[in-house]
Structures are given as structure tokens and as C-alpha cells.
Amino acid sequence: MKLINLDTDYLGRNFIFYDKTDSTQNRVWDLIMSNKIQNGTLIMADIQTKGKGTHGRKWYTDEIQNIAFTVYIETNCNIAKLDGITTEIAKILLSIFKEEYGINLNIKAPNDIIYKNKKIGGILTESKINSGEVKFLVIGIGINTNKKNFTDDIVNIATSIKKEFGINVDRIKIISSFCNKLEKEVKRRIS
């Protein structure tokens, strides 16, 4: 598996895919800690056994054909330049789903993607900050594109693209388009 139609200098160029892992966020942090990561690395998984949401919550990626990935971006810029980046990431994702599938999703600021008050996706943005400078971003994206089964604790608060719209989402196309748009946004902010 690989990304297609990339129009990036670095984002998504180093692509790593797992059939199953604990968390794509953990895999990126492991590479950071071992000094073995390249700028723009994207790690994707079909199944995450311990996917991470914000505030220590769990993100369920227990069925295949959903979107679960994490990107690593070196920024080396003043923290102010990245103000509101998580909401901007959500806007990028909404624009892609509108362009590709004609569907309108909403943002529950700053990091949730919702439809009819049910969560379809989320963004987890982590960073390394030193003396007011953001060295890098670690951005995790989870989107229920194909999820059919929801456990009792989330059945009333979560949904999926497939469940709501009956659409089969091309994950690779969405992720590739996301890389193209996000790299432009990051360059605009940090240049």
C-alpha cells in the first residue's frame, strides 16, 4: 500500500503501514525517541488496539477500512505561528470530504469531526516545545469511514461515513489529499 498523487516535498513521502498496531501515535513517538524518523513520516494502520484520543480517551479502530494515521512534521517555529492548527486540520478534512463525496460534516472545536451531533472523527495534536519554539508536531487522525459496530458506551455518540451516507471511502485518496493540503498550510504558517 502506498499514497498516490502526492504533490508534497516531504509529507507522506515516508509511508509506513501496519495491518495492526497498538497506536500509530505511539509508533511515531517510538521513532522520535530512537532518532530514526524523517520529516513528513506518515504511519497508518488498519487496526489500532490502543488508539489514542484527546484527554487520554481511547479511539476505537477495531474494524478495517477506517482512517487511522499519524504524521510527523518538523516545524522549528515560534508557537504563535501554529495557533489554531488543530481546527485548521479539521477544516482541511471537511473540505476534502465535501470535494470528494459532496458530504457536509461539522467541527466541534477544536478537534472533533461530527455529523448530526455524533462523532465521526478526531484529531490529536502533540508537539515538542523548547523555549517557546515548536520543534515538531505529531498529528493523529482517526475517522470512522467504514465502522459498522459501535459498543454500548459509544453507540449514541459516534457514527461513521458508511453508516450515515452509505459511501465507500477511498482512504488512500483522502490521506494523500490531506498531505497535499496540510503541507501547504504548514509552509504558509512557518515560512
From 12-16, 26-30, 153-157, the region with the lowest mean pLDDT: 153-157
Per-residue pLDDT of 151-177, as tens digits, reads: 888 888 899 999 999 999 999 999 999
Concatenated DSSP letters for 36-58?
---TT-EEEEEEEEEEE-GGG-E
pLDDT of residue 35: 97
In the predicted model, is pLDDT for residue 60 greater than 70? no
Residue that is written with C-alpha cell 488543530 in the block: 86
Q: Which residue type does 60 have?
A: Y
Q: What is the pLDDT of residue 57?
A: 65
pLDDT at 43 over 90: yes
Instruction: State how far the Cα of 141 lies from the Cα of 53, in Å rounded to an integer.
Output: 9
* Rounded average pLDDT over 40-54: 87
Question: CATH class for domain 15-190?
Answer: alpha beta
- Residue 19 · residue 45 · CB < 8 Å: yes
pLDDT over 90 percentage in the chain: 82
Residues 67-83: tens digit of each pLDDT: 999 999 999 999 999 99
Q: How confident is the model at residue 54 (pLDDT cuts 50, 70, 90)?
A: low
- 91 by Cβ neighbours in 10 Å (0-12 / 13-18 / 19+) ranks as middle
pTM greater than the 0.85 cutoff = yes
Give the pLDDT band of residue 63 (cuts 50, 70, 90): confident
Contact 107, 90 (CB under 8 A): yes
